Chains A and B, each alone.
Chain A
C-alpha cells in the first residue's frame, strides 16, 4: 500500500513531467512564451506547496474529533484559498506573468491526480463496459 509520503513523491514526479511537457509545448504554441512559462512555473510551485499543506492538514485532522476535524479542514481550506487568490492577483497585475499560464500551473496537479489514479487500471474500465447479461 502506498503511504502519503510515497503518494506525494509520485504525484510530484508526474507534475514535474507534465510541467516540462507543457513548457515544451508552450515554446511552439504560445507566441510570447516567456511570460507563459513564468506563469506556469509560478502556478506549479504554488499548487505543489498547497498540496503539501493539504497533506499536512489531512494528517492533523484525522487525529482530531470528527467535529473539530471538520472545522480544522475548513479553516485550512480557506488559507489555501487565500494563497491561490494572492497568486492569481499577482499574475493578473504583473505584466511579465501570463495569467493563463498560472491557471494551467495551478490546475496541473489536479490533472495528475485524476490521470495517475483513474486511468492506471485497464481492467476496471473493461469491467464497466463488459456486457453482463450472459453471466
Chain B
C-alpha cells in the first residue's frame, strides 16, 4: 500500500480548513441582500427619504462585509502561505489544527447576517422617520460593533491555531 507522507496529510487538512473558512462568506451576502431589500422597500414607501435611506444602507452594508474579508484572509493564508506545513510535532494535532482553524471562521456567518439585518432595519427606520437618521445610524453602528466581536474572536482562535499553536508544545 502506498504510504502517505505527513506533509500531504497536513496539506489535505489545510484544504478542508480553507473550504470551511469560506463558508463565512455566505453571511455578509445574506445580510447585504436583506439590507438591499429593506432599502428598496423603504424608498418605495417613502421616496422623499430615499437619500437618507441609501446612506444608512451604504454604511451598514460596508461594515457587514468585514467578516467575509476576514474569512478570505484565513482561507488564502491556509492555501498559499500555510505556516502549519513547516511545523514539527504531532502530525495529528497539526492536521486537526488546520481543520479547526477553518472551522472557527464559520463563526463569521453570524456577524455577517446580523450586521446586514441591523443595516436593513436601520434603513427601514430611516425611511419611516428620516429626521432621526443620526440617532438611528449611531445605534446601528453600536449594534454592528458588538455583533462583530464574535467574528474577531473566531479570527483570533484561527490565527492562534495557525501561527502560535499551543497544542503542539503540550505534546513535548
Is A70 in contact with B72, judged by CB distance below 8 angstroms? no
Is B145 in contact with A84, judged by CB distance below 8 angstroms? no
Checking B35, B54, B134 against A4 with a beta-carbon cut-off of 8 angstroms, the contacting residue is: B54
Is B81 in contact with A99, judged by CB distance below 8 angstroms? yes
Is B138 in contact with A124, judged by CB distance below 8 angstroms? yes
Min C-beta distance of B83 to chain A, whole Å = 12
Is B68 in contact with A58, judged by CB distance below 8 angstroms? no
Count chain B residues whose beta carbon lies closer than 8 angstroms to a beta carbon of A.
48
Q: Is A89 an interface residue (CB 8 A)?
A: yes
Complex contacts, A66 vs chain B, CB 8 Å: 37-38, 40-41, 44
Q: Is B94 an interface residue (CB 8 A)?
A: no
Is A121 in contact with B43, judged by CB distance below 8 angstroms? no
Is B141 in contact with A114, judged by CB distance below 8 angstroms? yes
Is B40 in contact with A64, judged by CB distance below 8 angstroms? yes
Q: Is A61 an interface residue (CB 8 A)?
A: yes
Interface of B with A (CB < 8 Å)?
A: 25, 28-30, 32-44, 50-55, 57-59, 61-63, 65-66, 68-69, 72-73, 76-77, 80-81, 130, 133-135, 137-138, 141-142, 145
